[in-house]
Chains A and B, each alone.
Chain A
């Protein structure tokens, strides 16, 4: 190639840089995406394999339920192909943290030498923190994706759960955490199952081997010579490992037979001891119970006797009471009559007394009269006396006065005085003479002394005489009066004397009467005394009788009290008896329970011994490692998605690249003619375009490969590292894929270029030099529909005509855009499909939440299990089923799929646990005794429909054929649903339940699940319990990762859409530059110019999008069918939002492109319009 020519090429690139870049970008995208996605699963596996090699992950793991011995170890080591063997003590048990958390732990032992040089240290741990355990009781905790995280472990002390009785003598009882690690055996998020604790391993730990004191190993990990050099996901590796497993299997048979004998013998001996002890204990218990029973019976008899006694006593008491009552009645009558008599007596006496008292009163009155009489008499006497005394005094006074007058008369006479008058007046005149003579002092012939006495005599006589005179009396009348008084006195005295005599006679009469009354009174008194005596006697009788009654009553009361005591005693005795009875029942139940526990234990032990079976060695390869196999299957899933999708993606890219090149060649027609005219050979001319194309596609491929093969695997593996712990992401350059995809891209572009050039170069230069006759405008059918056409603005008419005029461009654009939309629809659709599985399978189709695995159908009769199943608060309902692995006997060319033969114990109950329906029309599918239902994916893979015959093989390799009665919707695994009778008839063997499907209460918490598992695992012959929540969670995780990949797909599809739209719009503009320039000259504003062009792009985009949406449905179906793992059917539906998003994204990209293109349009120079057509 000469220099100028070279320049032309470079200049072409420069002048059409956007086109060049478009091809570059499209090729880069296509190649990068294809190669990147294709190598993603490869890189995933490579990264994992690299880690496994680095960490010396075991190739084979040997387990034996019987344990492995040192001699087993020796035998294994003898095999040539075995490179290293690590014997371990692995054990699952429950550990408790100091905070009381309970961890179902899988404890592994580490070899004594964990140095780098240790050949027998497999599954090497990577320290995260702290150090490895060095002595018994130290451990490190493995931080896996699902467990052990978010916890400060180092320094923690974990103690063995006291419930782990079987283990406490074989393993350290406390563990101190000295570090945290990561390990190759547990790289995934899936939880391991166990029969310990909660059924799920909640903690993974490694300890020094000394922590275990068992006399056997629980397992061997071994590595196969040369396996490290192979990819553990490859078939070479599988073969190498299989060769060793074959040998080990043979060895295992011998070794386990030896071990089995030893163990069964030991176990049987132990069991016999236990049985003997059981028999003894049972006899003892029976005896004790019988004794107790006897005692109770005696007690009951005693009580019966007592009751009788009491009854007698009661009747005696009743009799006594009756007698007493009648006695009291007659007594009361007698006493009453006696009382009456007495009272009558007393009444008579009273009467008499009254009469007497009346008499007495009369007497007393009479006496009083008498006494009055006497008193009057006495008063008369006193008067008489006083009258006498007065009479006497008057006599005396008269006598004195008479004597004084005599004396006076003598004296006067003596003295000489004449005594003429002897009356009282003459006496008083003499006294007054004398007294005057005596008073005159004249010497009287009488001595002086006689004179004084005389004076005195004279005064007293004067006084007397005067007093008498005053009464008008004188001494002589007074004497007559006195004489009359005396006579009266004498008369009164006689009358008084007569009254006295009368009174005395009356007194005498009265006294007689009184005496008579007194005698009557005496008689009455005597009568009264007699009555009183009678009353006293009666009272005495009453008192004594009352006393008798009282004592009788007291006696009765005593008897009653005794009786009451007796009743109380009897009640007590009865209570005691009842208590005793109850105690007896309790003791009996207890004893029976204990015995039945013991029996159960013995049965357990028997079952265990039975389960020991032949003592097989279980050989596990990495395929059996949960994380390994799930990682592998995830890689498969990516591989499945990564085939169709990027290929289609690539096809779209290639199509656009070749369109672009074709156009370019066509555009440069004139230049080709010129060059040809100048004498350049066709090859050379074509060379320019080929070079252009090759340059763009090769650089694009290289760039795409460099970026894509790093970017896509890294993103995808990173996404999967949400679930997996693959420390290093390795993206080795994958030559086959790189070559394949880049060569395909380059070849496509070059071929397109070549064919375009060929078409041009066939023409003679002269014609090439001429502008290609412009393609004639044509009427389109729309024009004939005048109502529409005449209403269209003709800028729209132009658009309509243009769309149809350039058919090739139209189709290319529509295909390009629809391809991108289809990719977007598919991307979103994959997301829908995969997300669907979980909710459809585990919520809609499965109506149970728990599967309990059974080792033996007899487990169903286990008492503990029955108890759990009958507790409706824990398990709402359960259905025993048989789920057996089987194989389909394929027709020619069909895959030999494994299936699950599913037989319910109760055909009518099955629909409660499964939703049988057709996916397409949601019609329910009936299940009965004659049903043979297979799942949809199985039918699809084997082209089976209702009425066809399916032949399957069960575990015993018995073949049986069935006529399919229906096909049901199902997403995970393949199932053949049969009724018990159908199964037994077809396979000629009994159905043996091996699983229980359980429905749980809706409001169960994870804690409930854990405790339920713990309890279930304690039941006899229960192999495991798995919750669908768990399954759905693990599926959910996978889906989360797949979602990342889908996002990658969507972004890539979006990028492609953008590039494609950009490129197509770009071409559109370039091709029509002159037209654009012309309308600009005509005075179209920028916006009008843009819309003139965009209307077309928009129409193409909308048509392309619409087509893409439809295309997407097919592509999605295709991708999904291709991507589906054998066992899984993805959801087949794409949801409306996905279409919407795909469409919106395409339109959005179109809009973006148009925004970019608006600037380009503005830049189109009007000078272009001056140019001659090319």
Chain B
């Protein structure tokens, strides 16, 4: 019965002046441990809301969110922070690297606050940046920066890896490479990876595809034969 990640009738409302916007409307889905899951939907469908709630950056107004048996939806702010700190790795669309830190230091920034971090240097080597440890973000290309970001997320040794449009700011090839990295990470480490994108072309590479539309999860399908990323075109 219990899945690794579980959304159960989750609702989220934003009040803007007199209007009440329903960002999440009784969303329910689940993800199993070790899956490479893609949440896909058009702009404004509520993908980011889902991501925020799952990432502990936002709370839900109704429903339950469970991760690895923990009821995230009932967490206090402090608990949420701790949750983010130890259980979630986050990869941003715009990398969000600290400009003032080298690649290695950016990774250390995350790993230093964790209980059981991976070695920053190794992680970076793992994402193919073994030679660029001491480079500042501004000295790296977009793809390299995103790799650093992924390394930063991974180094925390989190339960899940959340990626928000990880290829959004990257060119096609770089994007592919980054996706490949994520997929490999999932396969090699058995870590649950959730990627949010508007690009449905990517769905082929996922183990599980959750489609979201107008704040509702319209489907939750399992792809038993994910396509390797190299073969995906968009």
Q: Across the interface, do B55 and A774 meet the contact criterion of CB distance under 8 Å?
A: no
Q: Mark A residues whose CB is within 8 Å of B.
A: 773-778, 793-795, 797-798, 801-802, 805, 1074-1075, 1077-1086, 1088, 1166-1167, 1169-1173
Q: Across the interface, do A1172 and B94 meet the contact criterion of CB distance under 8 Å?
A: yes
Q: What is the minimal beta-carbon distance from B112 to any residue of chain A, in angstroms?
A: 7
Q: Across the interface, do B110 and A794 meet the contact criterion of CB distance under 8 Å?
A: no
| Among B84, B85, B109, residue most surrounded by chain A Cβ atoms (within 10 Å) | B109
Q: What is the minimal beta-carbon distance from A392 to any residue of chain B, in angstroms?
A: 198
| Residue B96 lies at the interface, judged by CB distance under 8 Å to chain A | yes
Q: Across the interface, do B99 and A776 meet the contact criterion of CB distance under 8 Å?
A: yes
Q: Across the interface, do B101 and A797 meet the contact criterion of CB distance under 8 Å?
A: yes
Q: Across the interface, do A798 and B81 meet the contact criterion of CB distance under 8 Å?
A: no
Q: Across the interface, do A1170 and B93 meet the contact criterion of CB distance under 8 Å?
A: yes
Partner of B105, one of A794, A802, A1074: A794
B20: A residues at CB distance < 8 A = none
Partner of B85, one of A795, A1075, A1082, A1173: A1082
Among the listed stretches B30-38, B66-74, B134-142, B203-211, which one makes contact with chain A, having 4 or more residues with CB under 8 Å of it? B134-142
Partner of A1170, one of B48, B86, B136: B48
| Among B52, B58, B94, B112, residue most surrounded by chain A Cβ atoms (within 10 Å) | B94
Name the interface residues of B83-111: CB closer than 8 Å to any CB of A: 83-86, 88, 90, 92-94, 96, 98-102, 105, 108-110
Distance between Cα atoms of A805 and B100 in the complex (Å): 8
Q: Across the interface, do B81 and A1085 meet the contact criterion of CB distance under 8 Å?
A: yes
A1077-B96, A1082-B152, A1083-B82 known; 5 new pairs, CB 8 Å cut-off, are A795-B109, A798-B101, A1080-B81, A1082-B90, A1088-B113
For A1082, the closest partner residue in chain B by CB is B110
| Residue B218 lies at the interface, judged by CB distance under 8 Å to chain A | no
A1082: B residues at CB distance < 8 A = 84-85, 90, 109-110, 113, 152, 156
Distance between Cα atoms of A1170 and B164 in the complex (Å): 8
Known: A775-B99, A805-B100, A1075-B98. A1166 touches B136 (CB 8 A): no
Q: Across the interface, do A794 and B84 meet the contact criterion of CB distance under 8 Å?
A: no
Partner of A777, one of B57, B78, B90, B136: B136
B112: A residues at CB distance < 8 A = 793-794
Name the interface residues of B12-57: CB closer than 8 Å to any CB of A: 48, 52, 55, 57
Q: What is the minimal beta-carbon distance from B91 to any residue of chain A, in angstroms?
A: 10
7 A-B pairs in the complex with CB atoms less than 8 angstroms apart: A776-B139, A798-B100, A798-B101, A798-B105, A1081-B84, A1081-B92, A1172-B93
Q: What is the minimal beta-carbon distance from A15 to any residue of chain B, in angstroms?
A: 15
Q: Across the interface, do A1083 and B92 meet the contact criterion of CB distance under 8 Å?
A: no
Q: Across the interface, do B90 and A794 meet the contact criterion of CB distance under 8 Å?
A: no
Q: Across the interface, do A1167 and B57 meet the contact criterion of CB distance under 8 Å?
A: yes
For A793, the closest partner residue in chain B by CB is B112
B105: A residues at CB distance < 8 A = 794, 797-798
Distance between Cα atoms of A1170 and B99 in the complex (Å): 16
Partner of A801, one of B83, B88, B92, B100: B100
A1081: B residues at CB distance < 8 A = 55, 57, 84, 90, 92, 96
Distance between Cα atoms of A834 and B100 in the complex (Å): 49
For B101, the closest partner residue in chain A by CB is A798
Distance between Cα atoms of A1075 and B85 in the complex (Å): 16
Q: What is the minimal beta-carbon distance from B92 to any residue of chain A, in angstroms?
A: 6
Partner of B92, one of A795, A798, A802, A1169: A1169
| Among A801, A1074, A1083, residue most surrounded by chain B Cβ atoms (within 10 Å) | A1083
Q: Main secondary structure on chain A at its contact with chain B? A: helix
Partner of B98, one of A798, A1170, A1173: A798
For B108, the closest partner residue in chain A by CB is A794
Distance between Cα atoms of A106 and B93 in the complex (Å): 91
Q: Report, nearest first, the 10 A-B pairs whose CB atoms are least far apart.
A: A1083-B85, A777-B136, A776-B138, A1083-B84, A1078-B96, A1166-B57, A777-B100, A801-B100, A774-B99, A794-B105
A776: B residues at CB distance < 8 A = 99, 136, 138-139
B88: A residues at CB distance < 8 A = 1083
A1085: B residues at CB distance < 8 A = 78, 81, 85
For B152, the closest partner residue in chain A by CB is A1082
Distance between Cα atoms of A1167 and B55 in the complex (Å): 11
Q: Across the interface, do B113 and A1078 meet the contact criterion of CB distance under 8 Å?
A: no
Q: Across the interface, do B138 and A1167 meet the contact criterion of CB distance under 8 Å?
A: no
Known: A1074-B96, A1084-B113. A778 touches B136 (CB 8 A): yes
A805: B residues at CB distance < 8 A = 100
Q: What is the minimal beta-carbon distance from B188 to any residue of chain A, in angstroms?
A: 23
Distance between Cα atoms of A777 and B140 in the complex (Å): 11
B137: A residues at CB distance < 8 A = 774, 777
Q: Across the interface, do A1083 and B81 meet the contact criterion of CB distance under 8 Å?
A: yes
Distance between Cα atoms of A1082 and B81 in the complex (Å): 8
Known: A1081-B90, A1167-B52. A775 touches B138 (CB 8 A): yes
B136: A residues at CB distance < 8 A = 776-778
Q: Across the interface, do A1078 and B92 meet the contact criterion of CB distance under 8 Å?
A: yes
Q: Across the interface, do A1166 and B52 meet the contact criterion of CB distance under 8 Å?
A: yes
For B57, the closest partner residue in chain A by CB is A1166
Q: What is the minimal beta-carbon distance from B144 to any residue of chain A, in angstroms?
A: 14
Distance between Cα atoms of A1088 and B82 in the complex (Å): 12
Q: What is the minimal beta-carbon distance from B164 to any residue of chain A, in angstroms?
A: 6
Distance between Cα atoms of A1172 and B55 in the complex (Å): 19
Distance between Cα atoms of A1088 and B85 in the complex (Å): 12
| Among A773, A794, A1085, A1169, residue most surrounded by chain B Cβ atoms (within 10 Å) | A794
A797: B residues at CB distance < 8 A = 101, 105
B48: A residues at CB distance < 8 A = 1170
Q: What is the minimal beta-carbon distance from B132 to any residue of chain A, in angstroms?
A: 13
Q: What is the minimal beta-carbon distance from A666 to any residue of chain B, in angstroms?
A: 16
Name the interface residues of B104-132: CB closer than 8 Å to any CB of A: 105, 108-110, 112-113
B110: A residues at CB distance < 8 A = 1082-1083
Q: Across the interface, do B84 and A1170 meet the contact criterion of CB distance under 8 Å?
A: no
B139: A residues at CB distance < 8 A = 776
Distance between Cα atoms of A1057 and B58 in the complex (Å): 37
Q: What is the minimal beta-carbon distance from A786 to any residue of chain B, in angstroms?
A: 13
Contact with A along B147-181 (1 / 0, CB 8 A): 00000100010000000100001000000000000
Q: What is the minimal beta-carbon distance from B113 to any residue of chain A, in angstroms?
A: 6
For B89, the closest partner residue in chain A by CB is A1082
Distance between Cα atoms of A777 and B98 in the complex (Å): 9
Q: Across the interface, do A794 and B164 meet the contact criterion of CB distance under 8 Å?
A: no
A773: B residues at CB distance < 8 A = 138
A1169: B residues at CB distance < 8 A = 92, 96
For A804, the closest partner residue in chain B by CB is B100
Known: A802-B100, A1083-B81. A777 touches B138 (CB 8 A): yes
Q: What is the minimal beta-carbon distance from B151 to any residue of chain A, in angstroms?
A: 13
| Among B86, B93, B113, B169, residue most surrounded by chain A Cβ atoms (within 10 Å) | B113
B138: A residues at CB distance < 8 A = 773-777
Distance between Cα atoms of A776 and B85 in the complex (Å): 27
Distance between Cα atoms of A797 and B108 in the complex (Å): 12
Distance between Cα atoms of A1078 and B58 in the complex (Å): 14
Q: What is the minimal beta-carbon distance from B51 to any residue of chain A, in angstroms?
A: 9
Q: What is the minimal beta-carbon distance from A685 to any residue of chain B, in angstroms?
A: 26
Q: What is the minimal beta-carbon distance from B111 to any residue of chain A, in angstroms?
A: 10
Distance between Cα atoms of A1154 and B113 in the complex (Å): 23
B100: A residues at CB distance < 8 A = 777, 798, 801-802, 805
B86: A residues at CB distance < 8 A = 1083
B99: A residues at CB distance < 8 A = 774-777
For A1089, the closest partner residue in chain B by CB is B81
Q: What is the minimal beta-carbon distance from B115 to any residue of chain A, in angstroms?
A: 11
Q: What is the minimal beta-carbon distance from B108 to any residue of chain A, in angstroms?
A: 6
Partner of B101, one of A794, A1088, A1166: A794
Q: What is the minimal beta-carbon distance from B57 to any residue of chain A, in angstroms?
A: 4
Q: Across the interface, do A1079 and B94 meet the contact criterion of CB distance under 8 Å?
A: no
A1170: B residues at CB distance < 8 A = 48, 92-93, 164
Q: Across the interface, do B84 and A1078 meet the contact criterion of CB distance under 8 Å?
A: no
Q: What is the minimal beta-carbon distance from B194 to any residue of chain A, in angstroms?
A: 15
Distance between Cα atoms of A569 and B108 in the complex (Å): 129
Q: Across the interface, do B101 and A1083 meet the contact criterion of CB distance under 8 Å?
A: no
Q: What is the minimal beta-carbon distance from B32 to any residue of chain A, in angstroms?
A: 24
